[in-house]
Amino acid sequence: MISTQAIPWEERPEGCKDVMWRYSQNPIIGRYDTPTSNSIFNSAVVPYKDGFAGVFRCDNKAVQMNIHTGFSKDGINWDIEPDPIVMKAGNTQMIDSDYKYDPRVTFIEDRYWVTWCNGYHGPTIGIAYTYDFKEYFQCENAFLPFNRNGVLLPEKVNGKYCMLSRPSDNGHTAFGDIFMSYSPDMKYWGEHRPVLKVTAFEDSAWQCLKVGAGGVPIKTDEGWLMFYHGVIKTCNGFRYSMGAALLDLEQPDKVLYRTQPYLLAPAKDYELAGDVPNVIFPCASLHDEEGKVVVYYGAADTVVGIAFGRISEIIEFTKNNSI
């Protein structure tokens, strides 16, 4: 959904030749920005009314993971609800949830759909919808556990809802490819297809261990533009960076191009240190009619940062540097 409000923006710094660049005032959301939070990161935003709304991952000081509503006029300064979202029953009465994290949000047809990693006998993909970011209606989980990073396309394709996800296991999963699944009704899912796999170490090491969809893909003439995270394992743990891919408009489980180099990798203090060092984890983006885009990402599993770019340049880069 193209934002008709002004999205956050800074021009590319002088001398910078990168396709994307960070906001000079990062992080825009601090770890203690709600009264009980330990960290706020990996969060999703959309244009809403005359500003923006979002669903934010807030781990509290017991390090319980949950999602909170937030509103903003400018996309940078956010009012985040101190209490987590309370769900009502949507297309099912079974709305159990041990924990919620890493939300994504998109508008389809008449409502906003939220997906997240839902704790239901293991991590799986939770789904809810809201019309107003006040009442949320939780639906059946999309899949069996173990799954993470469930992301919807922002419209139906061939009459079906399209969900990207990354099948996982029950721990700090050391593998992970992106799959697509389809549903006629947001309740039953099938036609599972691989989309984007990890690369060979020699080809592109930053994405050789795991990949997972970032924010809701953006529809462009060249295909669905999907930001995603890739992971490498060093002797001191995992490092999460961000790349981009273009998916076929009609057959969105088909990758047309993907970046061999990353677009953004941990390099700033707030990305290198925190609860989980060396993490850039995109969960959302906003774009406007001019083709400007701002990506929201969790940094070090602790705070929220943003980075800017132009869709046309990103597409160009992705096509020219595809693996």
CB of 48 closer than 8 Å to CB of 69: no
User: Which of 2, 6, 89, 94 is the binder for a copy of itself (CB under 8 A)?
Assistant: 94
Kindly report whether the peptide bond that precedes residue 217 is cis, defined as omega within 30 degrees of 0: no
CB of 275 to a copy of itself, least distance (A): 6
DSSP states of 205-263 = GGGSSEEEE-S--EEETTEEEEEEEEEEEETTEEEEEEEEEEE-SSSTTSEEEEBSS-S
CB nearer a copy of itself, residue 37 or residue 130: 37
Residues 185-244 that bind a copy of itself (CB under 8 A): 185, 187-194, 197, 202-206, 232-239
Taking the complex as a whole, the smallest distance from the CB of residue 181 to a copy of itself amounts, in Å, to 7
Sheet holding 178-183, edge to edge: 147-152, 161-167, 178-183
Q: Which is nearer to a copy of itself, 106 or 141 (CB)?
A: 141
Contacts (CB under 8 A) with a copy of itself, residues 149-188: 165, 167-170, 172-173, 175, 177, 179, 181-185, 187-188
C-alpha 281/C-alpha 287 separation (Å) is: 18
Which sign, positive or negative, has the C-alpha torsion 277, 115, 125, 56? positive
* Least distance (Å) between residue 4 CB and a copy of itself: 34
Does the protein bind a copy of itself through residue 250 (CB under 8 A)? no
Residues 6+ apart with CB under 8 A from 200: 208
CB of 236 to a copy of itself, least distance (A): 3
Question: Least Å distance between CB 293 and a copy of itself?
Answer: 19
**Least distance in Å: CB of 131 to a copy of itself?**
23
Residue number with CB closer to a copy of itself (145 or 215): 145
Report 114-153 residues binding a copy of itself (CB under 8 A).
119, 121-122, 124, 140-147
Q: Of 289-308, which residues contact a copy of itself (CB under 8 A)?
A: 301
Cβ closer to a copy of itself: 69 or 165?
165
> Between the CA of residue 27 and those of 5, 17, 86, 269, what are the distances in Å?
22, 22, 27, 10
| Residue closer to a copy of itself, measured from CB, 52 or 206 | 206
Strand order in the sheet with 78-80: 37-48, 51-60, 65-72, 78-80
CB of residue 218 to a copy of itself, shortest distance in Å: 22
In terms of Cα–Cα distance, which of 311, 281, 277, 279 is closest to 293?
A: 311
Which stretch in 215-223, 261-269, 288-296, 305-313 sits in contact with a copy of itself by CB under 8 A? Answer: 261-269
- Cα distances (angstroms) measured from residue 236 to each of 107, 118, 239, 242, 299: 39, 28, 9, 19, 17
Closest CB to a copy of itself among residues 65, 157: 65
Query: CB under 8 Å to 180, separation ≥6 — which residues?
Result: 162, 163, 164, 192, 193, 194, 195, 252, 253
Copy the structure tokens of residue 144. 């069996």
To a copy of itself, the closest distance from the beta carbon of 22 in angstroms equals: 13
The CA-based diameter of the chain, rounded to the nearest angstrom, is 56
- Closer residue to a copy of itself (CB): 35 or 110: 35
Question: Least distance in Å: CB of 80 to a copy of itself?
Answer: 16
Interface of this chain with a copy of itself, residues 36 to 55, rule: CB under 8 A: 36, 38
